[in-house]
Structure 1
Amino acid sequence: MSLDLVAAVDIGGTKVAAALVDGDGTVLARAQRPTPAREPAPRVLAAVTAVLTALTADPRWPRVGAVGIGSAGPVDARTGTVSPVNIPAWRDFPLVAGVRATTGALPVTLVGDGSAIAAGEHWRGAARGHDNALCMVVSTGVGGGLVLGGRLHSGPTGNAGHIGHISVDLDGDPCACGGRGCVERIASGTHIAAWAQASGWQPAPGTAPTAAAVAADARAGHPVARAAYDRSARALAAGIAATATLVELDVVVVGGGVSQAGDVLFTPLREALHTYAALPYVRGIEVVPAQLGTDAGLVGAAAVCHSGSDTFLIPGQAGN
C-alpha cells in the first residue's frame, strides 16, 4: 500500500503521542498528552482523542490515508481491543472503535507497542539492514518486537515478541501480568529503583528514586547501584538468549529510558550474554542502542500501515 501520510499513535503508561508521518518515516507534526493511566477508561480514551483531534487541525490532514496504533499490551488486533497491564481501566477496551470516532472511515492498524518499535527501528533505525532482529524497549515496563526474514512478525493478535513477560526466575516475584519472575519484573526501570532501595541504596537529597538516579550512582561506583543494573542486565540477557535460541537473531536493539544509562547497562548486558547465549548459533549476537528514541513507536506505527497483512513487510526493506 502506498501512502502519502499516516496518522500514527503511540500509547504507553505515561504518555499518549500522535504524529503525522510521511512515506519516508519523517515525523511532520506531533501532539502529546499524559496518560491518565489510573483513571476510568473514558478518561484514557479522551487523551487519545485529544492528540488525534490536534492532528486533524493540521492542514495536511486530508492527505492522511491510514491510522497506525502501537499500544501497550496485550492487544488484540483481531478485535481491535486492548488490555494494557499498565492501564488497569482498559480491559478488552475497544480502542480501534474509539479511534474511528475521531478519524472516520480511515483504515486502522493496531499492533503492540513493542512490535511498533521493532517496525520503526527496522525501517529507519538501528535494525535497518538486518533480516532478523529483536527490538526492545526497557522503561517503566519491558516490551519487544520481532523482525524475522525481513518482515515484522507481530503474530495473529499483534503481541509477538513481548520479551518482557518471559519468565527468567521460576521462583521470582509475582508480575503484574500474572506470571512470576518475568524479565520486566526484574529489569524495568521501576524495579531497578525498587530493588536498589530495598538493598540499601538511597538517592541524593532532593533526588527522586528513579532508575536514572541509580544509573548516575552506578556510574560513580556505588556498589548497590551497580548491582541493581547488573541484575537487570542478567535478566535481559537471559530473555534475549532464550528468544535467540528459538528464532535466531542477527541483532538486538535496546531502547527506552533505561537504555540511556549507556555502558552502565550495555557492558554487563553484553557480558551476561556470553553466559546465557552458549549455543554456537546464538553466540556473538550484536547488541546495540536504539536510534529513534521516543519516535520509534510513532515511526513504527506508520510503518505497519504500509501492508494489509498480519506479517508486515517493512517499507523499503524488501529483498534484504
Structure 2
Amino acid sequence: MLGGQSVDGQALVLAVDIGGTKIAGALVGAEDGVLHCRTERPTRAAEGGQAVLDSLAEVVGRLRGLPEWPRVRLVGVGSAGPVDTLRGTVSPVNIPGWRDFPLLRELDRLTDGLPGVLTGDGVAMAAAEHWRGAARGFDNALCMVVSTGVGGGLVLGGALYPGPTGNAGHIGHITVDLEGEPCPCGSRGCLELLASGTAIARHAVAAGWRPRSGAAGAAAVAESARDGDPRALAAFARAGQALAAGIAATATLVELDVVVIGGGVAQSGDLLLGPLRARLAEYATLPYVRGLRIESAALATDAGLVGAAAAALWAVEK
C-alpha cells in the first residue's frame, strides 16, 4: 500500500496522459485504481513546445487546487513516444516541439518535487488493462492505443514489460508496408501511417470523402461509414488490415493470449475491429497464433490515466 494509508483515505497518484490531441490528468486511487478527479486541455502541438508545456502546467495546476491534493504521493505520466524512462525525457512523434524534452524534470518543478515515473502511453494502457480491464487474468497480452497515433504495451509472463527505456511494444512504428510513405519517426510504411485516426481521415479524404460538417477527422469518417459511405468504409477496412498484419507479427514473436484494442479510434467498434478480425486469419497462420483473442479495451479513454498510475505503482513496488 503506497504511503501506508487506508482505502477510505487512500494515497493518490497524480496521473498524466500526454497525447498529440489532448493532455489529461487525474488523481487515481493507489488501492482501487479509481479516478477521483479528471481534467484535460488541448495539447496545442502545432503551436510549439512551450504551448504544450503550458497545457501540461494548466492540467497539473487544476489538480493541485483540489482538496484531495495533500494525499498525492506519486506522479505517474504516460506519454506518446518514444520515451526514455532512464533519462526522464520524451520525443513524441506527434509533438514535434518536444525532442528529448525533460518531462520528469518539468513535472518535478510543477509538483514541488513529488517522485515521478515516466512510461510510454502504450505501456500505460497495458498496465491499466492488466490491472482493471480486459487483459486481467491473462499472462501474455498486447494492449494497443489507436488514436491520433498508434502505440502499444506488453504484459509477458504475468508482468508488465516496458523494456529498458520504456518503449517495448511500440507497435505503431513497425513497418507493415515495405514501399510505404516516409514516417516522421524516420522509417517507412509504419503501422501508424495506415491505422491511426489521422491516417483513416487522410485516406478517406484522398478517396474523395468529405465530412457533412466540421472537421474531417476519424470520428466524422466513422459517422459516414455507419451510413454506408464506401469511401469511409474502405478507410476503416484498410486500417483494420494494417492492424491485423502488425498484431500477427507481434504475436508470432512473443506468443500472446489476448490483444486489447483501445484509444479514441477504437471507439468506432466493429467499423475497425470487424475488418481487423476478418483479416487476422490471413496473417496469423502458425498454429500458436491462430485464433488469437481480440478484445475491446474495458477502460475506454480513461485507460491512459489509470495506466499511468498503475505503471508508476508497479515501478516503485517491484
Q: TM class by shorter-chain length?
A: over 0.9
1:125 and 2:144 correspond: no
Secondary structure of the 2:295 match is: strand
1:93 and 2:119 correspond: no
1:116 and 2:156 correspond: no
Structure 1 stretches of at least 4 aligned residues deviating more than 6 Å after TM superposition: none
1:246 and 2:253 correspond: yes
1:290 and 2:297 correspond: yes
Following TM superposition, by how much is the alpha carbon of 1:63 offset from its aligned partner in structure 2, in angstroms? Answer: 1.4
Provide Cα deviations, 1:28-65, integer angstroms capped at 9, x if missing partner.
11221111212232322122122112222222222111
| Partner in structure 2 of residue 316 of structure 1 | none
**Distance change >3 Å, CA 208–CA 89, structure 1 → 2:** closer
Aligned length: 310
Name which of 187, 191, 203 aligns with 1:183.
191
**Distance change >3 Å, CA 70–CA 217, structure 1 → 2:** same
Q: TM-score, with normalisation over the residues of structure 1?
A: 0.93
Q: How does 1:14-163 map to 2 (within 5 A)?
A: 14-22=21-29, 23-163=31-171
Following TM superposition, by how much is the alpha carbon of 1:105 offset from its aligned partner in structure 2, in angstroms? Answer: 2.8
Q: TM-score, with normalisation over the residues of structure 2?
A: 0.93
Secondary structure of the 1:307 match is: helix
Following TM superposition, by how much is the alpha carbon of 1:275 offset from its aligned partner in structure 2, in angstroms? Answer: 0.5
| Ranges in structure 1 where 5+ consecutive residues have no aligned partner | 314-320
Following TM superposition, by how much is the alpha carbon of 1:219 offset from its aligned partner in structure 2, in angstroms? Answer: 2.5
Following TM superposition, by how much is the alpha carbon of 1:208 offset from its aligned partner in structure 2, in angstroms? Answer: 3.0
| Partner in structure 1 of residue 8 of structure 2 | none
Provide Cα deviations, 1:247-295, integer angstroms capped at 9, x if missing partner.
1111111111221221111111101111000000001111111111221
CA distance in 1, matches of 2:127, 2:134: 11
| Partner in structure 1 of residue 6 of structure 2 | none
Secondary structure of the 1:48 match is: helix
Secondary structure of the 1:114 match is: helix
| Partner in structure 2 of residue 213 of structure 1 | 220
Counterpart AA for 1:257: G
Q: Is the 8 A contact 2:264 2:301 kept in 1?
A: no
Name which of 262, 275, 281 aligns with 1:268.
275
1:307 and 2:318 correspond: no
1:13 and 2:17 correspond: no
Counterpart AA for 2:255: E
Following TM superposition, by how much is the alpha carbon of 1:24 offset from its aligned partner in structure 2, in angstroms? Answer: 0.6
Following TM superposition, by how much is the alpha carbon of 1:20 offset from its aligned partner in structure 2, in angstroms? Answer: 0.7
Following TM superposition, by how much is the alpha carbon of 1:207 offset from its aligned partner in structure 2, in angstroms? Answer: 4.3
Counterpart AA for 1:12: G
Counterpart AA for 2:71: R
Provide Cα deviations, 1:62-91, integer angstroms capped at 9, x if missing partner.
211110000111110000111111111111
| Partner in structure 1 of residue 2 of structure 2 | 2
1:201 and 2:201 correspond: no
CA distance in 2, matches of 1:20, 1:207: 33
Counterpart AA for 1:221: G
**Distance change >3 Å, CA 40–CA 189, structure 1 → 2:** closer
CA distance in 2, matches of 1:177, 1:299: 27
Counterpart AA for 1:265: L
Provide Cα deviations, 1:301-320, integer angstroms capped at 9, x if missing partner.
111122336xx86xxxxxxx
Secondary structure of the 1:282 match is: coil
CA RMSD of aligned residues (A): 1.5
Name which of 235, 243, 260 aligns with 2:242.
235
Counterpart AA for 2:154: L
**Distance change >3 Å, CA 258–CA 40, structure 1 → 2:** closer
Following TM superposition, by how much is the alpha carbon of 1:240 offset from its aligned partner in structure 2, in angstroms? Answer: 0.2
CA distance in 1, matches of 2:287, 2:187: 30
